[in-house]
Structures are given as C-alpha cells and as structure tokens.
Structure 1
Amino acid sequence: MQVLHVCSELFPLLKTGGLADVAGALPAAQIAEGDDVRVLIPAFPDVKKGIGETHLVGSLDTFAGHVELRYALYQGVGIYLIDTPKLYDRPGSPYHDQASNAYVDNHLRFGLLSWMACELACGFDPNWKPEVVHSHDWHAGLTSAYIVARGRPAKTVFTVHNLAFQGLFFAQHLQELQIPPEFFQMHGLEFYGQISFLKAGLFYSDHVTTVSPTYAKEITQPAFGYGMEALLLERQSEGKLTGILNGVDEAIWEPRTDVLLSARYSAEDLRAKAVNKAYLQRAMGLDVDDSRLVFAVVSRLTNQKGLDLVLEGLPDLLEQGGQLAVLGAGDAVLQQAFLAAAAEHPGQVGVQLGYHEAFSHRIIAGADVIMVPSRFEPCGLTQLYGLKYGTLPLVRRTGGLADTVVDCALENLADGTASGFVFEESTGKSLSNAIRRAFVLWSRPKHWRHVQHHAMGIDFGWKVAAQAYQNLYQRL
C-alpha cells in the first residue's frame, strides 16, 4: 500500500507538540509492517537544515506562487518538501512569528500544503503515486477537499490530533485558495461564515480517525466537539470515525538505552532510577532526598492541560512532603504563578520555563509521578512516556488518558492491572485526592515497585497502531 502522510511538523526535525512525535514515528512503523510510506511537509528552515541534500521532483505555479517539490530519504522514510521560501523561510514557529502572532497568510501557507498533497495524489511525481493520502490536523485539512474536487484520485484519511484548533479563515479567501464555491456551505467546509480547514478534513475525507478510542467518543458530544459534534456524530453513525491509540517510539523513549539519562535502568533493575532522581533534584534546586515523592509536569502551561488544578493542589502536595518539578511554557499567568510558587517554596518547587527535549527525558526518568491533569486530552504521550520509565502517571479520566492509565484502586492493585492514579472531576479537590493516594502507595514501597514493574511492561509500541491503520487503508 502506497501511503502519503501530510503534516506540518516532524520529529526530530521540527516539533511544537505531540503531532510531531506521531508524524516522526508512525511512518517508520508502517514501513516495518510492509507499507510504502512517504511524508509531505513544508520546507521550514529546521526541516531543510535537518534533511540536508534533496533532489528536485518538479516545479509548478500555484495560487501561492512558484513552488519546487523536493525529495530526500531521511532515517529510512521518503520526505517530500514544499520549497517556497517566501512562505516558509521565516523565524518563529511554523504557525506564528516570534511575538506569537499568527502569520496573516497562514491560509496560503497551509492551503498550499494540502494543494501539493492533491498534486501528488494526481501523479505529480512520475515515480510514485499514493493510493491513500493521510492528512493530520487542520494544517492539512483542505487536502481531502481538493482531492474530492479533482475526482478522488486517492482514498483519504484525516486524523484529528486536537479538535480545539480549527484553522478558521475569512470566506473572502475562497477563490484565492481555488476552492469550488459549492464547497462553501454547511454540508461542506463552511463554519459560521468562515472557511474551516478542520471541517474540510472531517467532511470530505473517506475516513476520520482520532488518536484514542475514548476521544473518538467524546468529540461527538457538545462538551468536547467545539461545534463539530453533529458532523462527527454523523460520521460515527456511518462507521467512518475511529479512535486508534498513539504509540511510543521505543527507539527514542526506552530507559534501558536512553543516552540522555544520567543512568540507564530497566523494570528488572530500577536502582539507577535513583541516580536520575538525584540529578533532577539538583538540576531543579530541590532538596536531594530519595525518600521525598517527586511529582513532575512536562507540558504546555494552559488551562486545557489542567495546570491551574496543580497550583490548587500544590499546598496539599507540599504539606505531605512532596516536591514538584515543572518544565513548560504557555499562559503568562500560569507561568508567573509557578515561578512564584518556586520562589515561595525553595527546595520544594522547581520551575524551568521553555521546552527542552533532552531535559524532558531527564525529568520523566527522575520523577516518581508525572502529572497530566488535562480537562481534555485527545491521546497524550507524556503519560505513556511516564509508564515506560516507571514514573507513575497521575491523570484525569478523559480521552487517551482514560484509555492508558488504570487507577491504583484496591481491586486493581489486587489483580495487578494498576498503573497510576486517575481522578474524575476537573477540581483541585479531586486532584488532591489522587495526590493523597499517591502518597499512600509511596508509603508501601513493595506495592509501589509492583505497580512500576507492571507499568513498564505494558506495550504501547507503534506496531499495534501501524497494523490498525493498515487494516483501515485496506478496507478503504
């Protein structure tokens, strides 16, 4: 099966979130299962620099200007780069400038990504033509619309990584993007008078997937659907909405071989985890004491991630002798609140603003508990990394968190399925109750080690997801 993934970021070349991890790992896993898989991505500066030498597939004039399509093999995966410097050669993130303002021509920048995916589906590369075009999130949402407009030269799959980001643009861009005018309607890509790149993907694709089974159910409800719930309910009733759980790239996230750690360890021998804990405590300015229960946050600092709840539960956490290490950036109010907590509680709270891939490995290896108290979470990868590293996740029961973490309730401890701490309500009290359960288990080292051992043995590799996508493609 020849499959083209269409995305806006790709680990390790360019990452702003979990989408990059998925785009970086899934194609390789699918190739290992026998599919012929390639990736299409804009030629952002970090991507061009990381890939190095490419060869020209062809060039053409588009609504966004003159474009060269280039190709290279990168870590065993074929990568197409859309090279048009006036659109993509900019500082800042792929989506906004250094002042965090969205680029005013994002409709062109990401409309072009979808347009070029359609060109490849129509045979632009004389040596390779995809049978399935698999696009990811709103950035690639117009792909399926263009493919329908060109007579459906390939089957299409659209994966929602986060429904909250919808790619909304003014209707006046319709002609500029060369979208057929009849597509601009409720049964199409129109959303409250605007063009929705996300809705285009949801409506025009042959099949829609999300990154966990629970999230696939949640987004058909008003609380999680962001206005798209009726459309998603319809797709579900047609049998065209599926949740396929993300995986962990074990070439990158494996404590036995992770070169970023102070010391490597395994489920069979956890002694070296204490070395990583001492490193983390020193690096974060925490009191170095192996008996203290260290909680960690590695996250965007937003209310969606439930980090206001962490601040609410912090007094309870500290009163019981715990420590907190935070790595992340985001909402200015939350950033200041965590910095203030660190200043008020030296030795107990450590905060580092920003995101550092290497340090995230060291935090997850060194902490005892990784906190992911999200209000909604399509899949979540952080808790999967925690499980892999024997750092027990503390999560809210939503989305992929509900699918991957089993609470340390007595019955789950008894039957050996417990892997972390799960709370129900988005309240500080509910979170604090979960924190207390963590301290109770911590006071029983034998039980703690048993849960750690089980958590590290759960298989969340990409092979299962790759096989599920392969089955979906074959059905299409």
Structure 2
Amino acid sequence: MRILLASSESVPFAKTGGLADVCGTLPYALAELGHEVGIIIPAYRAIWCTAKPIRPLGLEFIVPVGSKTVSGQLLECPGDVPGVTYYFVRQDYYYDRDELYTVHGHDYADNCERFVFFCRAVMEAVRLLDFRPDILHANDWQTGLVPVYRRTLYAQAPEFQRTACVFTVHNMAFQGEFWHWDMLLTDLDWSYFNWQQMEFYGKLNFLKCGFVFSDAINTVSPRYAEEIQTPQFGCGLDGVLRSRRDVLRGILNGVDYGAWNPVTDPEIAQNYDADTVREGKPRCKAALQAELGLPVEPRSPLVGIVSRLTYQKGSDILVGVLPDWLARENAQWVILGKGEPDVERQLLELAQAFPHKLAVRLEHSEALARRIQAGADLFLMPSRFEPCGLTQLQALKYGTVPVVREIGGLADTITDYTPETLADGSANGFRFAGEDGASLSAVLRRACDLYGDTDTWYRLVRNGMSQDWSWRRTAPQYESMYRETLRRLYPDADPR
C-alpha cells in the first residue's frame, strides 16, 4: 500500500509531544511490512536544526485562504530506510516561527488560518507529487480538515478516487475550536457548518470535522477508545464518536527500541539488559543522584517523573502528597518537565526545602529523560486521563517500575503487582484507581515496601524488561485497519 501520514509534527524534525513520536516512528514499522510511506508536516524553523538533507522539489502551489490566495512550496527529505520519505510544506509567514503552536504560552492568533492552509497543502501535495495514496492518514485537530476536503473540494480529483481517509486522535483535550467566521477561511460552503458536520456549539471544530468526514477513526489505546465515548472523557464529542463506533478502534502506540534501549543508549552511565540489570542499573542510579546533587544512597527508592506539569498529568495531586513524603519517607524524587506556573513554583519551593530528597528540572531534555529512565527505581504517572502514554513503556524497557493511575493506555499496558500476577509473569508495575492524594500515597507505599525485597523486586523488573511494546507488535494492527477500510469502501480493491 501507499500511505501518506499528515501531521503537524514528527520526530526528528519538530516535536511538542507524543504525536511527533508516533508519526516519526510508525512509518518505519509500516515500511518494514512492505509499504511505501510518506510523512508530510509544515516546514517549521525547527526542521533546519536537524542536519538532515532537506531539499526543495521545485513544486509550488497556490490555494485560497479566505479572501486571499497563499502560495507554498514542497520540500523533501529521504527517510533512514528505503520506503519512507518526509515531505514539508514551506510557507514562511505561517511556519517560520520559534514555536509550533504558541508564543509566550498563548496560541498563535492565526492558528486556524495556518492549519486551514496546511490541510489544503496536503491535498495539493498529493496532486503535485504524483503520490496517489491508498491511505491518507490524518492526525489530530491540525489535520482535521483533510478528511473534509477529501469528501468535498477534492471528491472528483483523480488522485483520490481509490483513497481511504483514516483519522487518528491522540488526545481529545485538544480540538482546534475557532469562532464561526473562521469558516470563511476554509473555502467550503456554509451549508457544512451545521451541528452534524463542522459546527460545535457555535464554533468551528477541527477535531469534530476529522471524526465526521473520515472513513475510519482510531485512537492510541483500546481503553481510551472506550473512554472517549463517555461524557467523562469525550470532551463534548462523545456523542459524535458513539455515532461512529462501527469504524472506531483503539491501537496502542509503540516504542522505538532502536532509540530507547538501555543496551545501546549512549546517554546513560552503564549499559545493561535484563540479565545485567542488577549490576548496571545501580550504577546509573548513583550517577543520576550525583548529577542532580542528591545523596548517593543505594537503598533509598528513587522516584522519577518526566511529564508536562499539568492538571491532565495529575501534577496537582502530586504536589499535594509530596510535602508529607519528603518530610516522612525515605525516598528521593526527580522531576523533569514544564507546565503550569503554580505547579512549577510549588515544586521549586519544595526542592529548596528538601534539597537532599527532591531535584526539579523545569526544562525539556531528552538526554536527562534517558538518564532518569535508567537511574530511577520507580516511574510515576498519576494522570487524570492518558490516551496511551509512551514514557511508561520506555520505563519498562529500562527496568524502571511504573506506578500509574488505572486509566486509558496506562491500564492497557501496566498490570498491577500481586504475588499471583508476578508468578504468572504478567505483573510489570503498580496501579491505583482513585483521583486523590490518599490513593497515590497508598500505591507508592506498596511499591516502596516491595522495593525492600530485592529478589522479588528484580523479578518484577525483569518481567517488564522482557515484554515487547515495540511498533513491531502494533504496526500490523494499523495495516489491518487500512486494509479493512479499503475493502469496505472499494470491494474490488486489492490492498496488498
């Protein structure tokens, strides 16, 4: 099959979250299965920082955006393996900026215009590249108009006559809502601005557009696919998703073990595998403690957190329990991330009060994230909702035991420790259900108590390290979804 993924970000070129990891690594797994895969993203300023061989294709296009016409260019970069190609939409006024979506913590005022243009550019790129995709795979609200254009303005275009449009939502909380007059930017008839299609409580909603107009919908874990059909997690669109449940499924994200692997990771103090973790991981822990200015205490459990410091991630719950833990418990903590100013302030104050137990780094650093994965004993994710999560899967590979809330992809991937689950080989971490500090403290207490039983602890560690959460495990599910969708739309097709 020919597959074109449209996304607002992709590693290694531009990243704000897990969307970039998925759209930068899934294509390689699909290429391993024998498919030809393209990835198209905006040509942000950040793409030029990668030292990759990006070149102009000499292909230009002009599309209407509201009352004006806007031109763009297409760039290309080969992937690291045959069968994968990156494409970029260059329009410097829209994308040559310091950040992808925000300035000083606020959305760019013209985000609607920027991504209306990008969605039209994706459609024009297919025509100009002579890349006739079997599957046009859009991701998140920034590409929500791609399925709309496929069904409307480009319905008769020969390049799309045998194309199925798949739409993946990576996080329901981000929907791309804009005022109703922005409908004029889309070049679409006002008749589509109705409650069944593009309108949502008087606003234009890009995410809803993707759900309504796509041929198949998926999200990034089976549990989250069920959750988003409920009022609690559907963010107002649960009714839309229930109406399309026949084409909705959940497929877990995968980890790129070529990039995240303690056997080969150059950033960590000591490489190790499941057989040598008992010797290698303590060295990584000691190096991390020394780096962060924490006492090098082998028997103190070290709790690691790499996360956005936001309400979604349960950071306020964490801040509520930390003072008591820092004052009373023999555990150390390292927290890496940025987020809500009030949470950041409280964490810095606690780190100042307990410098021997808490290290806080308010930054984004993949190198330090790797050292935390290798050096911490526990990896904490108290999320209120979590579509899939990648960091708990990375933690498993590094022998760091996840402690997670029983929600979304965390529930799909982490099996709670009991003597029975340890014996049958399924246990790989600790789970808790409550959305409160008492529940969080109780599960941490369980985990720290088990940490004192070294032999049992390393049995649990090796369980997690031996499990396969790679794209090789989940990419065939995407392949199956693509083929089933093509067969449903085009019964005479041969989607090899």
Worse-superposed segment, 322-331 or 181-190: 181-190
Q: Which amino acid aligns with 1:114?
A: C
1:204 aligns with 2:213: yes
- 1:5–1:38: 8 Å Cα contact kept in structure 2? yes
1:109 aligns with 2:109: no
1:67 aligns with 2:72: yes
The change in CA–CA distance for 1:53 and 1:382 in structure 2 (over 3 A counts) is: closer
User: Shift in Å at residue 173 of structure 1?
Assistant: 1.6
Q: Where do 1:186-197 residues align within 5 Å?
A: 186-197=195-206
Distance in 2 separating the partners of 1:57 and 1:454: 52
1:255 to 258, 262, 268: 262
Q: Where do 1:207-286 residues align within 5 Å?
A: 207-236=216-245, 239-270=246-277, 271-286=279-294
Aligned to 1:336: 345
User: Shift in Å at residue 311 of structure 1?
Assistant: 1.9
- 1:304–1:376: 8 Å Cα contact kept in structure 2? yes
User: Shift in Å at residue 45 of structure 1?
Assistant: 1.0
Partner of 1:200: helix, strand, or coil?
helix
1:302 aligns with 2:307: no
The alignment of Structure 1 onto Structure 2 pairs a total of residues equal to: 470
- Which sections of structure 1, spanning at least 5 residues, go unmatched? none
1:151 aligns with 2:161: no
1:124 to 125, 128, 138: 128
1:440 to 439, 446, 449: 449
1:356 aligns with 2:365: yes
1:86 aligns with 2:89: no
User: Shift in Å at residue 7 of structure 1?
Assistant: 0.6
TM superposition score normalised by structure 1: 0.96
Partner of 1:321: helix, strand, or coil?
coil
User: Shift in Å at residue 316 of structure 1?
Assistant: 4.7
User: Shift in Å at residue 409 of structure 1?
Assistant: 2.3
Aligned to 1:44: 44
Distance in 1 separating the partners of 2:263 and 2:164: 40
Q: Which amino acid aligns with 2:59?
A: G
1:286-343 deviations in Å (ceiling 9; x for gaps) = 1111111000110000011011222222245332300110001010000011111111
Q: Which amino acid aligns with 1:240?
A: V
Distance in 1 separating the partners of 2:56 and 2:12: 21
User: Shift in Å at residue 413 of structure 1?
Assistant: 2.4
Q: Which amino acid aligns with 1:144?
A: P
User: Shift in Å at residue 57 of structure 1?
Assistant: 5.1
Worse-superposed segment, 391-400 or 49-58: 49-58
TM superposition score normalised by structure 2: 0.93
Q: Which amino acid aligns with 2:475?
A: A
Q: Which amino acid aligns with 2:100?
A: P
2:173 to 140, 164, 181: 164
- 2:72–2:121: 8 Å Cα contact kept in structure 1? no
1:314 to 300, 317, 322: 322
User: Shift in Å at residue 385 of structure 1?
Assistant: 0.7
- 2:73–2:89: 8 Å Cα contact kept in structure 1? yes
User: Shift in Å at residue 120 of structure 1?
Assistant: 3.7
User: Shift in Å at residue 357 of structure 1?
Assistant: 0.9
Q: Where do 1:344-383 residues align within 5 Å?
A: 344-383=353-392
Q: Where do 1:444-463 residues align within 5 Å?
A: 444-463=453-472
User: Shift in Å at residue 232 of structure 1?
Assistant: 0.7
Distance in 1 separating the partners of 2:113 and 2:53: 25
- Which sections of structure 2, spanning at least 5 residues, go unmatched? 486-496
User: Shift in Å at residue 235 of structure 1?
Assistant: 1.0
The structure 1 segments of at least 4 consecutive aligned residues displaced by more than 4 Å after TM superposition are none
Partner of 2:307: helix, strand, or coil?
strand
